[in-house]
Amino acid sequence: MNRTSHLPWIAAIGLGGSITWAMYSPNSTAYSIKEAREKKTLVILGTGWGSVSFLSKLDTEQYNVIVISPQNYFLFTPLLPSCTTGLVDPRSLMEPVRSFFGDRQGAVKFYEAEAVKIDYDSRVIHIQDPSGAHGQVGQAEIPFDMLVMGVGADNATFNIPGVNEHACFLKTISDAQKVRNRIVDRIEAASFKDKSTEDIQKQLQVVVVGGGPTGVEFAAELQDFVDEDLKKQIPNIKDEFQVTLIEALPNVLPMLSKELIDYTEAKLKEQTIRVMTKTAVKRVNEGSVEVEITNAEGEEELRTIPYGLLVWATGNKPKEIVEDLATQIPEQKDLRRGLAVDEYLAVKGAPNIWALGDCANSNLPPTAQVAAQQGTYLAEVFNNMTATESQSRTEVQPFRYSHQGTLAYIGSELAVADLKFLGNTIPSGGFFTYLFWKAAYLNMCLTGKLRPFAFLPVTLLSR
């Protein structure tokens, strides 16, 4: 079944949701702006899930709000794998950050800039324009009274030699476009006149490192493209295409139940995706990956796997600005995944700084679902504070994450889900779970504007 056959009615559902959202959204509110000197300056770093969810619910009348981010848009990250194969137009996943200000444009300032350092003692953020487009004024200092960190995280490479030099990542829209271009380049190179079978096979070897949702979904989307599009457009090389998924743990999607893990691995293999678990990458070379495989007897074997494209999707590590801030706060000296926060998402040792999403170490998975809930919760905390009140005087309860389930697309219009219902986990897999996956992602769009367009296809082989 062709996945695009469902696009018209899915788009119709999205459009209907947009109209409903517009009809029932709250009426415009005239925001009275207090004198700046009467309010504390609240700086929000980042425009990801946590920051935008926070900003959307924040009563900006209480604070002088400044948003700083190198991107002037919010990115709907769950569908990035779909951008790499042309199923989704990248532009449909970007929403201008100023659209989240609504009728509060005068109450919020936005600076498109990179926050390069936070001077905690001085309560100052140093920012710079990475593009150089701002002319002579490319650096500035932003003082703050309160700071919300939502800067996300970098890709974890585990200090494996060659990863940064040779691998592609999948965190940003430019990452997705780079992967997309590499796929096209490899296909066109393999189609060149008088290519040997060996050369064609090497060009069309795609290795994906990381068996989490991002790695699995990208591998599945790519195999769909090969099976549904490539065989029609360039059938003579279709059978030479090989997708290999590498995971160091014993299973892919380890957060799911064993039943769904087994189902996922079986379906991936049915689609001719080669799944290699208990396989650790030791070195990345140009055109090949050196791995160590642990067999059922516990014996280790070294092997070299060739690739034409390598996509790295193994997890997160703290950004440099987070690591630098941690050195200024004694309670953060053991920085691991991110800034350690308390039950109110306040950074331990820094009572006027809060952290959410991937840059916070709250013992929760680094997912959009977690970050969005944290942002909504933190807005409630701030809305219950005045410009002079402390957090301890609020009546807000500590943050409690409500897990709504885990979803992953596994190819051939199939998906898996561990859903929460009445306190129980319900495993689900198959075509109807795939439809639920689509509907859930449409519902996750933070504004109605994204919904009608989130699954409209573009053509991969026409850049």
Quote the pLDDT of residue 445.
64
**Phi first, then psi: what are they for 23, rounded to 5°?**
-70, -40
pTM of the model: 0.86
State whether 199 and 306 are in the same domain.
yes
| Together in a domain, 177 and 293 | yes
**Residue 8 pLDDT level (bands cut at 50, 70, 90):** very low
Compute the distance between CA of residue 255 and CA of residue 133 in angstroms, rounded to an integer.
44
Q: Give CA–CA dist 170/185, Å, rounded.
A: 18
Q: Is the residue at 62 inside a domain?
A: yes
pLDDT for residue 7:
42
Per-residue pLDDT reduced to its tens digit, 188-229: 999 998 999 999 999 999 999 999 999 999 999 999 999 999
Q: Is residue 22 part of a domain?
A: no
Q: Where are the beta strands (DSSP E) in 150-255?
A: 154-155, 205-209, 242-246
Percent of the chain beyond pLDDT 70? 83
C-alpha 271/C-alpha 99 separation (Å) is 41
Q: What is the pLDDT of residue 30?
A: 35
Q: How many residues does this entry show for the chain?
A: 463
307 class by beta-carbon count within 10 Å (0-12 exposed, 13-18 middle, 19+ buried): buried
Helices and strands (DSSP H and E) totals, the chain:
13, 24
Last residue of a domain, one of 401, 426, 458: 401
Contact 51, 357 (CB under 8 A): yes
149 and 197, same domain (yes or no) = no
139 in the same domain as 35 = yes
> Cβ(306)–Cβ(204) under 8 Å?
no
Q: Is 315 left (phi over 0), alpha (psi -120 to 50) or beta?
A: left
Strongest mean pLDDT among 4-18, 145-159, 187-201:
145-159
Do 187 and 258 have their domain in common? yes
Whether 269 and 361 share a structural domain: no
Q: Are residues 107 and 147 in the same domain?
A: yes
* φ/ψ (deg, to 5) at 312: -110, 120
Last residue of a domain, one of 369, 401, 433: 401
**Structural domain includes residue 456:** no
Question: What spatial distance separates the first Cα and last Cα of the chain, rounded to whole Å?
Answer: 26
- 211 and 325 belong to one structural domain: no
Return the higher-pLDDT residue of 149 and 388.
Answer: 149
Q: Which residues contact 268 (CB under 8 A, 6 or more apart)?
A: 216, 219, 220, 245, 252, 275, 410, 411
User: For residue 229, which amino acid is it?
Assistant: D
Among 277, 299, 314, which residue terminates a domain? 314
Range in 129-143, 208-222, 378-392, 410-424 with the lowest mean pLDDT: 378-392
Q: Residue 194 is part of which domain span?
A: 168-314
- pLDDT higher than 80, residue 457: no
pLDDT digits (tens, 9 = 90+) for 95-124: 999 988 766 666 899 999 999 999 999 999
| Domain-located, residue 438 | no
249 inside domain: yes
Report the CATH number that the domain containing residue 270 is assigned in CATH: 3.50.50.100
Q: Say yes or no: 274 and 349 in one domain.
A: no
Containing H/E element for 217? helix 213-225
Range list of H helices, 93-172: 163-166
In a domain, 137, yes or no: yes
**In the predicted model, is pLDDT for residue 456 greater than 80?**
no
Q: Would 51 be classed as within a structural domain?
A: yes
**How confident is the model at residue 335, as a pLDDT?**
87
Residues 386 and 295 in one domain: no
**pLDDT at residue number 133:** 67
Residue 131: pLDDT above 90?
no
pLDDT band at 396 (very low <50, low <70, confident <90, very high): confident
> What one-character-per-residue DSSP string does 315-351 give?
-EE--HHHHHHHHT-GGGTT-SSSEEB-TTSBBTT-T
Mean pLDDT of 440-450: 64
DSSP structure string for 22-91:
HHHSPPP-PPPPPPGGGSEEEEEE--SHHHHHHHHH--GGGEEEEEEES-SEEE-GGGHHHHTTTSS-GG
Is residue 49 very low, low, confident or very high in pLDDT (cuts 50, 70, 90)? Answer: very high
Query: Does residue 378 share a domain with residue 358?
Result: yes
User: What's the average model confidence in pLDDT over 143-170?
Assistant: 97
- 14 occurs within a structural domain: no
The band of 68, judged by pLDDT with boundaries at 50, 70 and 90, is very high
Average pLDDT over the chain reads 86
CA distance 52 to 73: 10
Burial of 1 from C-beta contacts in 10 A (0-12 / 13-18 / 19+):
exposed
Mean pLDDT throughout 299-320? 96
Residue 24 predicted with pLDDT over 50: no
Same domain, residue pair 310 and 337:
no
With b meaning 16 or more CB within 10 Å and e meaning fewer, what string describes 198-226? eebbbbbbbbbbbbbbbbbbbbbbbbbbb
- As for how many domains the chain has, the answer is 2
What whole-number distance in Å separates Cα of residue 332 and Cα of residue 341? 9
CA 339/CA 345 separation, integer angstroms: 10
- Cα 205–chain centre separation: 25
441 vs 275, higher pLDDT: 275
Closest CA to 358 of 336, 391, 382: 336
